[in-house]
Amino acid sequence: MLRIGDYIISFDLLQKNFKCDLQACFGNCCRYGDAGAPLTDEEVNILEEIKNIIYPYLRQEGKTAIEKQGTSQRDIEGEMVTPLIENQECVYTILEGNILKCAIEKAWSEGKISFRKPLSCHLFPVRMKKYESFTAVNVEEWQICFAAREKGRKEGVYVYEFLADALRRALGEEIYTQICIAAKELRKHSL
């Protein structure tokens, strides 16, 4: 583990390979799991504010689910998450061919909103958990991401590199720079 400021960072972030391969996984990280994507209180408010802008991007199933459940909801642990369509994919998913993508991110990429998508989605497969005196930054290994780990290995892309924008958003530029330095030092010493 690496400590930078108030963050305890798993070496997996620095040493494991990862690069999404949507042609292999079909965006199934938006479908599988025991609940929707974790949301911050700020994100709950943002989703409510932008719902009318992203509504036209949504599939009918997503629109219906939002009408019944709202733009966010509490999971069984009491945490705020994105609602799901029939306990499967996130209500904000859209289909491009047979690949699940994010309606929020599509609206963002078209300049309709300034919010890219929930941070937990942007960071996936990295998860952050706040404790009393630090925040843990860990990498989850889902079976559906096997192709992403293989693609990252073949192309020499590490988790922290693939998630550069998301990590900068979550941790800030200074901490991200320190992660890059630590990763290079680890590789130098493991040769």
pLDDT of 33 strictly over 90? no
The pTM of this model reads: 0.87
pLDDT of 77 strictly over 70? yes
Give the domain ranges of the chain: 1-18+125-191, 27-115
Q: 75 exposed, middle or buried (CB, 10 Å; 0-12, 13-18, 19+)?
A: middle
Reported confidence tier of residue 25, pLDDT bands at 50, 70, 90: confident
Which is nearest to 62 in space by CA: 83, 38, 32? Answer: 83
* pLDDT confidence of residue 176: 95
Q: Contact, 27 vs 99, CB < 8 A?
A: yes
What are the CA-CA distances from residue 178 to residues 49, 107, 185 (Å)? 35, 32, 11
pLDDT digits (tens, 9 = 90+) for 42-76: 999 999 999 999 999 999 999 999 999 999 999 98
Return d(Cα 139, Cα 154) in angstroms, integer: 19
pLDDT of 144 strictly over 90? no
Reported confidence tier of residue 170, pLDDT bands at 50, 70, 90: very high
End-to-end CA gap in the chain = 19
Please state whether beta strands 7-9 and 2-4 pair in parallel, antiparallel, or not at all (unpaired).
antiparallel
